[in-house]
Structure 1
């Protein structure tokens, strides 16, 4: 059983590495098997479909992002806005450092598939974001969940547009974090 778990973990790791280098399209079942040093049919013992293996890699990405956010929040000040800014910085840093995996993690087909409870590992981060927004702006309208969704969409947009080169070109910014204060102010208002 240990060898099976080791191979399963290796397939996820190797698949993630391929995605990091070449994006989600670089991680076919055959290429993952070849890179892991196993027969092309071996991944199907653990992942009957390519979608299930991609879901496992995405789940692994959410697990790592959550761990990074949790570790950063341990060190963050107790002020909810500062904690939210920390969460946002970690999110943007993760997106920049793990482009392929980040892209994979938010693929609608994977989230909708229900494989490996992918939503179960993605939603706690959103809930944390929502809880921080609710502590910063306790007004009931618009609801914290809606504001958190708009803020998340902005962070996701910054991550994507920065990677594509559009934001540096349009804004002259040299770091995506430069846009973070403006984003937080736009969604949460100015600090007191």
Structure 2
């Protein structure tokens, strides 16, 4: 079991495995195995003074993979799950194994939803994000942006044409929707 000082349990003896599986045990001779010194079970050599590490307290129910019995003793707490993105993350961990593509695709989508939620929160707080300074567009003009991109063999040059669309597109769409809403309200009055 991980996170304990106990060694793994042997389920079958070497003789039974060798009889059942042809060629089993070909690497049992320590001279044939370069990793033998690392595999030696010696808890005293590590300097660990615990049998099981002290567990970090959970401030909220954490997401954990369905493959694991419990959370690791230490885990990240930088981004507590909240809103729709948090519900999507919880669903991905509760429903799908980490070996499934659906698990990771839902997590990727929840990151995008979290970015949108953050932008909406910044707009609602009356301190909206500043896309001009936060995207680094000013540094493109003052820090050799053009010369660092062209004339070199950078791999990301092929998608530079779509970067302004991805960065400025949502802001322009929100501005257009706000303009349409204001003008339609002004016409009604």
State the TM-score, normalizing by the size of structure 2.
0.25
Instruction: Specify which structure has the bigger relative contact order, considering alpha-carbon pairs within 8 angstroms and separated by 6 or more residues.
Output: 1
* Greater fraction of residues in helix: 1
